[in-house]
Structure 1
Amino acid sequence: MLKRFLKPIQLPASVDWAVLILRVGISCLMLTHGYAKLTNFLGGDHSFADPIGIGEELSYVLTIFAEFGCSILLILGLGSRAALLALIFTMAVVVFIVHGPDPFDKKEHGLLFLFAYIALFLTGPGRFSVDSRLYR
C-alpha cells in the first residue's frame, strides 16, 4: 500500500513538464520562508507562535522542517506525497488558524501555496522526479 501511495501516476509528457515547473517553482518560493525561519532559529531566536498547542519551539521546528526540508524534497521529487502532506498541513494551519480571523488578503498568500500543494498531491511528482526513478 505504501508503494502505491508513493508511486507517481503516468502523465502525458506536457503535463510532466507542467508538474515539474509547478513543483520546483512553488518549492523555491517556499524555501525563502523556510530559510529565513531556519537562520533565525539557528541564530538563537526560538520565539514562535503556538497555533495548535504543542509548544513554541516544537511548532517552530516542525514549520522549518515543512517549509525548508520538505521543499527540498519536493524540488527533488523524493518522497513527494509525504512531503506534500506536511506542507499541506502547515499551510492549512497558517490559513485557517494563524490567519483565521484575518481578512482574505492576509490568507491569500497561504491559500495559493495550499492550492498548489493539493494539486501536486493529486498529480504526483511526475516523470522528472526521484520518485519516478525509484518506483517505475
Structure 2
Amino acid sequence: MNNSTLEKNAQDIGLLFLRISAAAFLLIVHGLPKLLNFQAQLSLIEDPFHMGASLTLILAIFAEVVCPIFIAAGLFVRLSCLPIIVVLLVALVVVHPQWSLEEGQFGWLLLIIFTTVFMAGPGRLALNARFSGAVRYV
C-alpha cells in the first residue's frame, strides 16, 4: 500500500469512528431517555415554537434516536445530520441563550461534531458507499 491509500483508509476509519461514537453518545445520553420516558419528558421539554409538548418531543426523538441510527449505519448521513444540527441550534440559541460557553459546552461540541460529519460525509465505510447515484451523497 502506498501513502495515499493508507491516508485514505485512515480518513475513512476516522469518519467511521466519529459517526458511530457521536451517534451512540447522542442516542444514549439524550435520545433513549426521551423515548423510554416519553410521558415524564412531556412535562420537562421546552416548547419554544409553541407547537405543543408532544410534537416538540416527537421531533426531538426523531433527531436524537432515528437520525443517529442512520448516521451510525452510514445511511443518508448528511441528511440525518440536519435535524440534529437544528435541534442543537434551537437548544443553544433559542431555549438556553443565557448559557455561557462553559454551561453549553456539551451542546456546542455536539454541534461541531455533527456539522463536521455533515460537511465531510460518511466516508467509504458506510452503507451509502455501497449504492450508486444520489444516495451516495446524501
TM over 0.5: yes
Q: Which runs of 5+ in 2 are unaligned?
A: 1-6
**How many residues end up aligned between the 2 structures?**
124
Classify the secondary structure of the residue corresponding to 2:47: coil
Distance 1:107 1:60 in 2: 20
Larger CA Rg, structure 1 vs 2: 2
Larger RCO, structure (CA 8 Å, separation 6 or more) = 1
1:63–1:90: 8 Å Cα contact kept in structure 2? Answer: yes
Match of 2:48 in 1: 51
- 2:23 aligned partner: 27
Tell me the secondary structure at the aligned position of residue 52 of structure 1. Answer: coil
| TM-score (structure 2 length as normaliser) | 0.84
2:14 aligns with one of 6, 11, 18: 18
Structure 1 stretches of 4+ moved >4 Å: none
Partner residue in 1 for 2:124: 127
Tell me, in whole angstroms, the C-alpha distance in 2 between the residues paired with 1:81 and 1:104: 26
Alpha-carbon distance between aligned partners in 2 of 1:83 and 1:111, rounded to the nearest angstrom: 18
